[in-house]
Amino acid sequence: MRKKMLGMLLCSVMAAGILTGCGGSDSSREEDADASNVEATEIPDNTVIGNADAKDAFVIWGWDDDIKKILDGTFKEDYPEEYKRIVFVNTEGSDYYQDKLDDILNNPNSSLYPDLMGLEVDYVLKYVKGDSLLPVDDLGIKQTDYADQYSYNVDLGMNREGKVKALFWQATPGCWQLRADFCKQYLGTDDPEVLQEDYFSSWDKILATAQKLNEDSSGKVKLLSGYTDVFRIFSNARKTGWYDSKDKGESQSIQIDDQMKRYMDVAKQMYEGELTFDTEQWSADWMANMVGDGRISNAALAYTGCPWFTYRSLGGDGKEQANPWVENTILVRGPQNFYWGGTGLAATVGCTDKGLAGKIMKYFTCEQESMMKISRMNSDFVNNKKVVKKLTNTAECDKLYPLAEQNFMEFYLPLAEGIDTSTVTAEDKDINDMWDAQVKEYVQGTKDEEKAMEDFKMAVHEKYEYLTVE
């Protein structure tokens, strides 16, 4: 989750007034690709807050400042003495987090060796199934402590022997997030139920909606900024992962689920029909389309995301600017359930203070009082069913679009119950990137479907030799 990067770039886009150039009709697809490649190669230095050389230093690693915000906020208020010991290492981005983390885990004598670290869904199993983490029961955390968490998150932090090694503080059900003003203007309604049924309940309706928007706005308002926005919807709907993670055999075949083939088809239709602006997620053009006016500057009617995307990316960081999503956001389920991200906390085998590690993990992921405080501070849809249900009954729930009368927490509550992470594998982050590269070639016409899938399987096998090509 590159939320910090998004907030900074979104504010800079609005402040600089460069909306017309970003994502405009004269921006070529090649320029988008070049910008994406440049962005991917920039690897900043770590930001270290605190004295790692202190005798009682307790080091925590993350790829952005999400963990630190909670530590600096409610945790500091409740545990001021423990807070003074914390050293926070921010790698300033998720794309290279694993590489930096792996390097430091191989160097246990370093003063920056983590006691506690954040892990994202796409690669949490890589560490959970390895030997670098402690089971949470070694930290004094019992099963009864996390009994109210969503079961899918518990499963993500559990190894094959049934030992839980990571606990999550967020639940991340997904939905389609719509600009109400554009819905009213181009679709004739701002009623969430009508929008869901008439425009977003199937992929055929979604493609027809995209076509209507493109035609009626003369290409200035598209349904989505880019076709990659729907990747996770299809990925999460798979019946099988990239391989059978339940098979304990040494050699496993690479699999491509029918949902991923359907994704290729939908992406191709969106690209060839020019139904999106063909931007990459998190690129400057993608974010510029988030704040466009649909007249002078290009704009997207919808983004796909989860609770943290709703309150942070659309409604939070840019609130002090002229953010068109504030009190103008409608949520609809779309054609199928999905989720996006989530951060697990895990203690390393070299943790210098298991008691403090357990205290922090409980504070973030188990204790109702502290999780209520976290949600009230930053609107997190926390990983605790009882806390979320309490929050739905308070006046604190955001009204994202007052006329729609949607309760933020209440909307996401049933979607969180339906999350299935059984297809997640330890290698998902890298494999997803390889898949994206081949889908891009397919939709642009440089490869047919068979060749793209063949090259994908070979690329995966070359990186992970134990995953075989049939």
Q: pLDDT by residue (tens digit) across 183-215?
A: 999 999 999 999 999 999 999 999 999 999 999
Nearest to 135 by CA among 166, 96, 101, 100: 166
Residues of the chain with pLDDT under 50: 1-40, 318-320
Q: Phi first, then psi: what are they for 382, rounded to 5°?
A: -75, 160
Structural domains in the chain, sorted by start: 3-42+175-226+276-332 (no CATH), 47-92+96-171+340-417 (3.40.190.10)
Q: Given this model, what pLDDT does residue 312 score?
A: 82
Give 251-276 pLDDT, tens digit per residue. 789 999 999 999 999 999 999 999 99
Residues 27, 30, 33, 34, Cα dihedral to 10°: -90
Q: Given this model, what pLDDT does residue 315 score?
A: 74
What is the b/e burial string over 410-433, where b = at least 16 CB atoms within 10 angstroms of the residue's CB? ebbbebbeebebebbbbbbbbbee
Which distant-in-sequence residues (6+ apart) come within 8 Å of 220 by Cβ? 292, 294, 295, 298, 299
Helix or strand (DSSP H, E) at 177: strand 175-179
Q: Given this model, what pLDDT does residue 470 score?
A: 80
Q: Given this model, what pLDDT does residue 247 score?
A: 64
Give the pTM.
0.87
Contact between 177 and 305 (Cβ < 8 Å):
yes
